[in-house]
Amino acid sequence: MATRQLSRSAADFLPARKTLTALTRAAHDCQGCDLYQRATQTVFGAGSAKARMILVGEQPGDQEDLQGKPFVGPAGRLLDEALRAAGIDRADVYLTNAVKHFKWTPRGKRRLHAKPGSREIAACRPWLSAEIEVIGPDVIVCLGATAAQSLLGPSFRITRQRGELLESPLAHWMLATYHPSAVLRAPDEDRRHRMRDELFADLSVAAKSLSNRL
């Protein structure tokens, strides 16, 4: 029935006891929206339960869907580089996505990334909220518009407030920057370089927000 469809979400699948292990296991069976039907598996967040920084992407890509881990494809490689440049060890952060299943459309033999809609982002939000609650990070970095939409609301604009440390009830600081895939997809070389520099600089700001709290 329509009302049931509207209220369907990951909330129905959350475990009573919230630990990263319990959440990861429960998310494996999530049917909170239709995306589980065509994806290989749930790609839950990964990283340290003691992380002081959580980075939130959009959704798993083709490689992540196959391997079951976030940010292991081309976007992950650029993210690794940006983290290294900012002096952040990947082992010290927690990486996750606003949406935990790969949304795609067929194009010949390839699976083309499709942007998750606001219904899917909202349906998946309980997982992200639970991850944030369990970890209790000092800073949350939203990579791209989908993560920003989930955590900062639909009126937030990366183009206007990119790289600013924002106060948030979810963490001491929140910051939004480009998604690494957006950098890789930049329309020309100049723009790609500029976006890359800005992404790197924004992650340094996020890293400094942590050292200022030591």
Q: What is the DSSP string of 134-188?
A: HH--SEEEEESHHHHHHHH-TT--HHHHTT--B--SSSSEEEEE--HHHHHT-SS
User: Among ligand SF4, ligand URA, none, what binds residue 61 when CB lies within 5 to 8 Å by partner kind?
Assistant: ligand URA
Would you say 179 and 165 are in contact if contact means Cβ atoms under 8 Å apart?
no
Note every long-range contact of 25-28, with CB atoms under 8 Å and residues 24 or more positions apart, other chains counting: 27/100, 27/127
Least distance in angstroms from the C-beta of 66 to ligand SF4: 16
Residue 137 to residue 56: CA distance in whole angstroms: 12
Residue with smaller CB distance to ligand SF4, 11 or 205: 11
Structure tokens at 127: 């997982």
Least distance in angstroms from the C-beta of 168 to ligand URA: 20
User: Among ligand URA, ligand SF4, none, what binds residue 65 when CB lies within 5 to 8 Å by partner kind?
Assistant: none
H helices of 15-166, in order, are: 20-27, 62-67, 74-85, 118-135, 145-152, 158-161
User: Among ligand SF4, ligand URA, none, what binds residue 47 when CB lies within 5 to 8 Å by partner kind?
Assistant: none
Q: Does 78 bind ligand SF4 (CB under 6 A)?
A: no
User: Among ligand SF4, ligand URA, none, what binds residue 31 when CB lies within 5 to 8 Å by partner kind?
Assistant: ligand SF4
User: Among ligand URA, ligand SF4, none, what binds residue 10 when CB lies within 5 to 8 Å by partner kind?
Assistant: ligand SF4
Residue with smaller CB distance to ligand SF4, 72 or 124: 124
Residues within the interface to ligand URA (CB under 6 A): 57-61, 64, 70-71, 73, 75-76, 97, 181
CB atoms within 10 A of CB 5: 10
Amino acid at 25: R
Least distance in angstroms from the C-beta of 9 to ligand SF4: 6
Query: Tokens 């589980």 sit at which residue?
Result: 36
Residues 19-38 interacting with ligand SF4 (rule: CB under 6 A): 27, 30-33, 35-36
CB atoms within 10 A of CB 79: 24
Residue with smaller CB distance to ligand URA, 67 or 129: 67
What is the per-residue binding string for ligand SF4 in 38-57, x denoting contact by CB under 6 A?
Answer: ----x---------------
Q: Does 123 bind ligand SF4 (CB under 6 A)?
A: yes
Residues 150-209 interacting with ligand SF4 (rule: CB under 6 A): none
**Cα three-residue angle 38-120-206, rounded to 5 degrees:** 110
